[in-house]
Amino acid sequence: MIEILMPALSPTMEEGTLAKWHVKAGDTVKAGDVIAEIETDKATMEVEAVDEGVIEALLIDAGTENVKVNAVIARLTGEGEPSSASVASRQTPLPPEGGERSASAPPPKGEVSSGAKQPATEGASPMAPKLNGSSGDRVFASPLARRLAQAAGIDLKSIAGSGPHGRVIKADVDAARGKAPASAPASTGAASATAPARQHQSLEQQGIPAGSYDLIPLDGMRKTIARRMTDSFRDVPHFPLTIDLEIDGLLAARAKINAMLERDGVKVSVNDLVIKAVAVALKRVPEANSSYTPEGIALHHHADIAMAVAIDGGLITPIIRAAETKGLAQIAVEAKDLAARARDKKLKPEEFQGGTFSISNMGMMGIRSFASIINEPQACILSVGAGEPRPVVKNGALAIATVMTVTLTCDHRAVDGAIGGRFLAAFKALIEDPLQMVI
């Protein structure tokens, strides 16, 4: 009997909604078949079977919310394995005709009488992890473990799985990377060394009368945003750097580019140009394309730009991968597609997890200037305000220019003021002279 567990579809996922079953009891499934849809705080994702067999029972109804990660959601009878019902019927002996079995009669073969100890099977160790590679090329692993192993360049066959039936789970991959599992409890000493958690007071305790407000319960996305932003704002020593950019040349270049792309049905936005300029600036100042780790500063090989997209109930950051290698038309198409699927909660985990640098643009809302909270593990996030006509001084005389204010928030552990300043100087040059983006 194989237990199908609620998968962890992202490193931060703790629970989710079992939105839909694609199978029913009695269906035969193969490894790779889609069996369910899970809604997380960020997206709706398909869950694939990792074993072959027959669905014996669905233990969680479709539509059930707050299903904890690793909870048993279904049971699968493996190929050639009898179902639990048939096993039970064989293991339960029928009483002899005319009454119960005599107390003096010996128990049927295979049945152990009460008080007798079941002998242990020699060499049996059902809880011991086993190497996947020892049974052939097939590897049993959770979807999250597969993604983490692939990102770390680890061969799953070399990992001893500690999950059900030797399946490799996230903790096994973490161990193979030499990293302590995230779920490991902190020691008593460590806990006592930290400051006590802030005691939350109810609104009534803070003087707001009961019945004077409507309470909207927190969904999974809002809980995750609250936790991650609190952790980042509390634990990351960050600081802002703000500059003004004249964007009249950028707007003129955008008009020419869109005229050229009109026949292809592609339209480049100011945000697409900002993404490209950030990517090129990061290649010129690679120290800004970094992450802090306790082992050292990680300098990323590509500019994977995460763009903030507002959706119902919160915010998500789909990623333009290796943006420095892509043209404006490709960035525009990818950004439009990712934003649309983000709003429909149809992104895959790899499309919004990771990233090396974030952009948050509130210019379309008329926001002139703001500073964002760092999206860990990235070291920088750029906040983009609205472009508007402002008075400027040119050659000692007043003039009018379209000016946009941007603020770079930096993790001071990885990016200090000098690095942040050099990045903004490179970014400013690209925005004010867009032809440099293609040189």
Residue among 79, 75, 63 nearest 18 (CA): 63
How confident is the model at residue 81, as a pLDDT? Answer: 58
Q: Give the model confidence (pLDDT) of 18-65 as tens digits.
A: 888 999 888 898 888 888 988 876 677 788 888 888 888 898 988 888
Structure tokens at 20: 């839909």
Q: Give the model confidence (pLDDT) of 277-330 as tens digits.
A: 999 999 999 999 999 999 999 999 999 999 999 988 788 999 999 999 999 999
How confident is the model at residue 31, as a pLDDT? Answer: 83
Average pLDDT of the segment spanning 358-375: 95
Catalytic residue among 22, 165, 302, 412: 412
Q: Which one is predicted more confidently, 439 or 150? A: 150
pLDDT for 181 beyond 90: no
Q: Which one is predicted more confidently, 373 or 45? A: 373
Q: Check if 165 is active-site.
A: no
**pTM of the predicted structure, to 2 decimals:** 0.63
The band of 12, judged by pLDDT with boundaries at 50, 70 and 90, is low
Contact 398, 420 (CB under 8 A): no
Structure tokens at 68: 């904890």
Tell me which H or E stretch contains 222: helix 220-235
pLDDT for 177 beyond 60: yes
DSSP state of 141: B
Please name every residue paired with 49 in a beta bridge, in sequence order, or none if there are none: none
DSSP state of 430: H
Handedness of CA 429, 413, 287, 338 (dihedral sign): negative
What percent of the chain stands above pLDDT 70? 79
pLDDT for 158 beyond 60: yes
Average pLDDT of the segment spanning 166-181: 71
User: Could you write out the DSSP letters of every residue in 225-291?
Assistant: HHHHHHHHHHHS-EEEEEEEEE-HHHHHHHHHHHHHHGGGT----HHHHHHHHHHHHHHHSGGGSEE
The band of 197, judged by pLDDT with boundaries at 50, 70 and 90, is low
pLDDT for 118 beyond 50: no
pLDDT for 104 beyond 50: no
Q: What ranges do the domains of the chain cover?
A: 238-438
How confident is the model at residue 191, as a pLDDT? Answer: 38
Q: How far apart are CA 361 and CA 363, in angstroms?
A: 6
Mean pLDDT value across the chain: 81
Contact 32, 25 (CB under 8 A): no
Q: What CATH architecture does domain 238-438 belong to?
A: 2-Layer Sandwich (3.30)
Lowest mean pLDDT segment, chosen from 246-260, 284-298, 304-318, 399-413 = 304-318
Residue among 356, 383, 375 nearest 285 (CA): 356
pLDDT for 439 beyond 90: no
pLDDT for 10 beyond 90: no
pLDDT for 107 beyond 50: no
Structure tokens at 130: 């086993």
